[in-house]
Amino acid sequence: MTSHAYRVGRGISDVTGEASGCGMLGYGKADQVSAGIHQRLRTRAFIFVDEASGDRLLLSVSDLPLMFDSVHRAVLQRLADSYGELYTDRNVMLTVTHTHCGPGGYSDHRLYNATTHGFHPRTFRAIVDGIVEAIDHAHADIAPADLTLSHGELRDASVNRSPQSFARNPRSDRDAFPDGVDPQTTLLRIDRDGSTVGAINWFATHGTSMTNRNCLISGDNKGYAGYHWERLVHGVDYLAPGQPEFIGAFAQTNAGDMSPNLNRGPGSGPTDDEFENTRLIGARQAHAAAALAAEAGQPVTGGLDVRMTYVDLADVEVSPEFTGDGKTHSTSGPAAGAAAIAGTDEGKGFPGFKQGRNPVLDAISRRVIYPVAARQRDSQYPKSLVIPGATLNRMAPFVQHVVPVQLFRIGQLHLIGIPGEVTIVAGLRMRRAVADVVGADLHDVLVAGYSNAYIHYVTTPEEYDEQRYEGGSTLFGRWEAPALTQIAVSLAAAMRDGVPVDRGTPPPDLSHTRPRVEPAQMDHPIEGTRFGDIVSAPIGTYRPGEQVRVVFSGAKPSNDQRRNSTFVEIEIQRAASWERVIDDGDWATKFAWQKLPRGRSRITITWDIPADVEPGIYRLRYLGDAADFQGRLTEFGGTTAPFAVTRAGAVAR
């Protein structure tokens, strides 16, 4: 294989949406509404350029719940405005980490805004602006770099949440995962002049360490992993001007049935504290990635390549080679099953539905719907049909069915861009099929899930038959995974043979369906106060391990997301000046908003003082923006009196 020289650019930005009053996305709970920030959501972009050919690929990894066509389309349009044909839907892969505690309401498809209280233009803009900013930074950062690929195993950060479904797969597949989990952790390391300046890690586990009871914005375990490696290990200051010396992304792969809740319950495992679980599972991913980064690794060689096509998943004829039963089958229009409405063991859905068999609904589908719809029966049986997405799509854009499928090659690494949540065995079959075509090692072929759009779950036909949550959420039926595997193989064959593929027809532009008006909601300070006044002040002295808690008279954080900035600053006194050492993106802080009657807001800020804190004199600042009756914003702030943080030991108070 011929060695290739690469140039690489890295970029990072803030995609934190509205921290107040915005329905969160992932669990589908209308009462899970944003009410503050635990950690900010980041997006990280990487641009790879082949020196010899000039080919380039752009990979973005965002701490977001889901990727939708709305964002994909808007980002591509912005890139076209700035760079012409340099970055297009062909060579751009936008992926997410799938946190379940990020603001939603940024899709053009109705289903995903149903529990987020509609479309939220502010959150949509924050996401698109942040992704484009990170890409701009990466474009400006392009410079010669060496790439290294490493693989390892991580076995204490995931568990199979649907063992019944997994058990239906043939032994030849199950034997690849003796513990029912995909332990592979893969690292692409980026070095310049002998120093590591960036890395992308792929590992399969869900972003559900935080439960559906949490209303503070959180990047969940993968968000913490990025924070741990960048901030705690490399000392990155996210608010400093310019781009940091190191950027580390933690991307998803085939995580459809992988849960971080090791005890198989909401917020349970390794501990019974969802915040501690988020930290531990994230730290384990960061430590595994750092261990791989310390290895020599395998030099990346072979240049760059990409194939991409749009496909209508509601109408794919799947050949016997991929169906597994020697017959040709077809997918059908999207439909959600009773098991999808039931939710998972990590987050219960609507009452009256359950995973597995639903006798009454099963009977209705079996006796009423399937007898008159032979194609639907072949595709969707034994699903209990509850939400007929195909029918609803004829009335309004409900779910997406025309989606991009992509294949990236970065040297020997192949990424199959799938717009859904692929189970480990469905992913294994795709990876094996692509690896066989291109002649790659199986470890070097990964499913890049949650890419460019969203179609819910992708299960094997055997897993589909169990009709647990994942199978009920496989919208396009029993043959969806074989269809996607067939498409991936066609892309791989075209890549191997050096021939183009039919781009297909992109989905329709639905941006005209978005609301254009953001109603103004006037803020008022708590009675008897001004904006920024302290309602509950800190005490005079603290020790490591204690918590500083301050309450302010504030305003809605959604007025201004303060992207690439902060609502919170904790400062230490150095000589005659104050230096910011902590902000609202740090793990030790929580910024909580409480809605009060008549447009009033109570802001509570806590700081859990770490054991290794620097002793000194500190103060805490709150920064906010208040809206008048016309929606015009006025910036304000509040600052506590100085307080002391001493070394551990007895303190006189």
What 3-state DSSP class applies to 200?
Answer: strand
Residue 205 has pLDDT above 90, yes or no: yes
Candidates 59, 80, 74; CA nearest to 11 is: 59
Chain position carrying tokens 């200051």? 237
CB atoms within 10 A of CB 3: 11
- For the residues 169-173, what does the mean pLDDT come to? 98
- For the residues 331-342, what does the mean pLDDT come to? 90
Q: Report the share of the chain in percent with pLDDT over 90.
A: 88
Lowest mean pLDDT, pick from 21-30, 363-372, 459-468, 587-596: 363-372
| Res. 210 pLDDT band, cuts 50 70 90 | very high
Q: Compute CA distances 129 → 71, 74, 564, 626, whole Å.
A: 10, 9, 11, 22
Beta carbons of 306 and 409 less than 8 angstroms apart: yes
pLDDT at 3: 52
Query: Residue 17: beta bridge partners?
Result: none
Annotated active-site residue 13? The verdict is no
Candidates 90, 82, 94; CA nearest to 43 is: 94
Residue 653 has pLDDT above 80, yes or no: no
Beta carbons of 474 and 165 less than 8 angstroms apart: no
**Buried b / exposed e along 64-90 (16+ C-beta atoms within 10 A):** bbbbbbbbbbbbbebbeeeeeeebebb
pLDDT at 1: 36
pLDDT at 652: 47
Residue 461 has pLDDT above 50, yes or no: yes
Q: Compute CA distances 289 → 41, 248, 294, 486, whole Å.
A: 20, 9, 9, 32
Alpha carbons 375 and 392: distance in angstroms, whole number:
18
DSSP state of 413: E
Beta carbons of 48 and 6 less than 8 angstroms apart: yes
What 3-state DSSP class applies to 603?
Answer: strand
- For the residues 409-413, what does the mean pLDDT come to? 98
> Phi, psi at residue 74, to the nearest 5°?
-65, -40
> Phi, psi at residue 64, to the nearest 5°?
-130, 160
Candidates 32, 201, 21, 123; CA nearest to 596 is: 21
- Selected residue with higher pLDDT from 335 and 1: 335
Residue 348 has pLDDT above 80, yes or no: no
- Selected residue with higher pLDDT from 36 and 372: 36
Residue 358 has pLDDT above 70, yes or no: yes
Would you give the distance in Å from CA 190 to the centre of its chain? 22
List, for residues 11-31, the tens digit of each pLDDT value. Answer: 999 999 999 999 999 999 999
- Polymer length of the chain: 653
Q: What is the mean pLDDT of the chain?
A: 95
- For the residues 608-630, what does the mean pLDDT come to? 97
Q: Which two tokens stand for residue 176?
A: 């690849």
User: What is the DSSP secondary-structure string of 5-41?
Assistant: -EEEEEEEEE----SEEEEEESS--TT-EEEEESS--
List, for residues 91-125, the tens digit of each pLDDT value. Answer: 999 999 999 999 999 999 999 999 999 999 999 99
Q: Identify the active-site residue in 62, 70, 162, 259.
A: 259
List, for residues 482-531, the tens digit of each pLDDT value. Answer: 999 999 999 999 999 999 999 999 999 999 988 776 777 899 999 999 99
Alpha carbons 104 and 465: distance in angstroms, whole number:
31
pLDDT at 115: 93
pLDDT at 515: 79
SS (H, E, C) 270-289: CCCCHHHHHHHHHHHHHHHH
Alpha carbons 618 and 647: distance in angstroms, whole number:
14
Task: Look up the pTM and report it.
Answer: 0.96
- For the residues 569-589, what does the mean pLDDT come to? 97
Which domains, and CATH codes, for the chain?
7-310+399-497 (no CATH), 534-645 (2.60.40.2300)
Alpha carbons 222 and 277: distance in angstroms, whole number:
12
| Res. 340 pLDDT band, cuts 50 70 90 | confident
Q: Report the share of the chain in percent with pLDDT over 70.
A: 98
Cis amide bond preceding 270, omega within 30: yes
pLDDT at 395: 82
Beta carbons of 66 and 98 less than 8 angstroms apart: yes
pLDDT at 174: 98
Alpha carbons 458 and 429: distance in angstroms, whole number:
12
Residue 216 has pLDDT above 90, yes or no: yes
pLDDT at 649: 62
List, for residues 277-330, the tens digit of each pLDDT value. Answer: 999 999 999 999 999 999 999 999 999 999 999 999 999 999 999 999 999 999
